[in-house]
Chain A
Amino acid sequence: MSETNLYPGLNLGGGHGEAHEQAESTVFGFWVFLMSDLIIFGILFASYASYLDPIGMAGGPGPQDLFDMKSVAIQTAFLLVGGTAYAGVSLAVKYETGRAKVIGWLLVCATLGTGFLFFEVKDFIDQAGKGGLPQASGWLSSYWALVGLHGIHVLSGIIWIGAMAAQILRRGLDDVVKVRLSMLGVFWHFLDLIWVGIFSFVFLVPLL
Chain B
Amino acid sequence: MTKPNTGELDAEDGAREEIRRYAVGFFASLLLTGGAFAAVLSALPTSWKVVLVCMAALLQIVTHLRNFLHLSFSGQQSREDLLLVLFSVCLLAIMAGGTWYIMSDLGGRMHQSDETGMAAHAMPDP
Residues of A within 8 A of B (CB): 1-2, 4-11, 13-15, 24, 28, 31-32, 35, 38-39, 42-43, 45-47, 49-50, 53-55, 69, 73, 76, 80, 83-84, 86-87, 91, 94-95, 186, 189-190, 192-193, 196-197, 199-201, 204-205, 207-208
Q: A80–B26 Cα gap in the complex (Å)? A: 8
Complex Cα gap A197–B89 (Å) = 13
Interface centre among A13, A201, A208 (most CB of B within 10 A): A208
Q: Which residue of A lies closest to B92 (CB)?
A: A42
Chain A min CB distance to B45 (Å): 10
Whether A49 contacts B1 in the complex (CB less than 8 A), given A95-B15, A192-B64, A193-B65, comes out as: no
Contact with A6, one of B36, B50, B77 (Cβ below 8 angstroms): B77
Inter-chain contact A4/B7, CB cutoff 8 Å: yes
A49 and B97 CA atoms in complex are apart in Å by 11
Q: Are A91 and B95 in contact (CB-based, < 8 A)?
A: no
Q: Which residues of A contact B57 (CB under 8 A)?
A: 196-197, 200-201
Report B-chain residues with C-beta under 8 Å of the C-beta of A73: 37
Contact-size category for B: 35 or more
State which of A8, A46, A200, A201 has its C-beta within 8 Å of the C-beta of B78. Answer: A8
Taking a contact as CB atoms under 8 Å apart, the answer to whether B46 and A208 are in contact is yes
Contact yes or no, B111 A55, CB < 8 A: yes
B88 in contact with A14 (CB, 8 Å): no
Q: Which chain A positions have C-beta within 8 A of B75?
A: 5-6, 8
A-B contact pairs, 11 of them (CB 8 A): A14-B5, A28-B77, A31-B85, A35-B88, A46-B96, A50-B99, A53-B107, A199-B33, A200-B54, A201-B57, A208-B50
Q: Say if the beta carbon of B49 comes within 8 Å of chain A.
A: yes
Q: Which parts of B69-105 form the interface with A (CB within 8 Å)?
A: 69-70, 75-78, 80-81, 84-85, 88, 91-92, 95-96, 99-100, 103-104
B29-A7 in contact (CB<8A): no
Instruction: Report whether A9 and B111 are in contact in the complex, using a CB–CB cutoff of 8 Å.
Output: no
- Give the complex CA separation of A192 and B69 in angstroms: 11
> Do A35 and B36 contact each other (CB < 8 Å), given the known contacts A8-B70, A14-B7, A208-B50?
no
B61 near A42: Cβ-Cβ < 8 Å? no
